Amino acid sequence: MAAISYDSPAILKNFAGRKQITFPLLSDPDSKIIRAYGILNETAPKGPFYGIPYPGTFVVDTNGIVIAKYFEDDYTERYTSADILINQFGGEASAAHSTIEAKHLRISASSSTAVVRPGQRIVLVLDIELKPGIHVYAPGVEGYIPIDLAIGDSAALTAHPALYPPSKMLHLQAINETVPIYTGRIRVLREVTIGKSAPVGDLLIEGAFRYQACDDEKCFIPETVPVKWALRVDPPDRQRAPAEIQHKTK
């Protein structure tokens, strides 16, 4: 892991010490490498901030080949590293755990982090374990109610589209239909971006997981299960490097 910035070595050294960063921070004071990668933020006004890249992450394999990119248009919004690890590699969500026992399944709700800042993009996770012999329907099914994780937008956050796992097809011989379903264990992800005006302090994100469960003989009444994630919003870090090493207007 390494990070590159238009900041000077002195600024990066100060920042790394303050934040206890141990991986390499690379200085690109003239933004030559940033330009070469095509990620220079041309919308930044001339002045101390000119030369910054669009905030983002390249994920590379062991051969140095880029296998994924995570970038935002707004420099105040950022993917968090925990979000990327869960999305890209199926990592464990280590925060905001709660478990809900529903009629046909068990839901474990968690998040990529429990402490957030305005502009950060995090991922909310539902790990779902269906009871033996039970299946639920995948998005795109016709004639049945698919699973759905609903989270409303607010001033505190913007919810992005939910990500559902690949389904398998089930042939219903009695009615000669083939439908997409889930059985066993599944994981549903939904990213949210914390709003720039999100108040500092506790943040409770509430949602609803809807599903229709069936077994080999019958389908049950659709269910809606409330889910929630308890987070804390910290204020933005506005501390700057000492004045003598700060960027000067060019």
Domain parsing of the chain, residue ranges: 3-87, 91-233
Domain 91-233 architecture: Sandwich (2.60)
User: What distance in Å separates the CA atoms of residue 194 and residue 158, rounded to the nearest whole number?
Assistant: 7
Do 3-87 and 91-233 agree at the fold level? no
Q: Tell the CATH topology of 3-87.
A: Glutaredoxin (3.40.30)
User: What distance in Å separates the CA atoms of residue 178 and residue 233, rounded to the nearest whole number?
Assistant: 46
Q: What is the pLDDT of residue 129?
A: 98
| Residues of the chain falling short of pLDDT 50 | none
Q: What is the pLDDT of residue 249?
A: 65
Instruction: Quick: pLDDT tens for 165-197.
Output: 999 998 877 667 889 999 999 999 999 999 998
Q: What is the pLDDT of residue 230?
A: 94
Q: What is the pLDDT of residue 100?
A: 95
Check if the beta carbon of residue 12 is closer than 8 Å to that of residue 23: no
For the whole model, what pTM was predicted?
0.86
Tokens of 243: 């004045």
Continuous H helices in 98-197:
none
Check if the beta carbon of residue 210 is closer than 8 Å to that of residue 223: yes
Using alpha carbons only, give the angle 92, 98, 100 rounded to the nearest 5 degrees: 115
3-class SS string, 178-225: EEEEECCEEEEEEEEEECCCCCCEEEEEEEEEEECEECCCCECCCEEE
Q: What is the pLDDT of residue 70?
A: 93
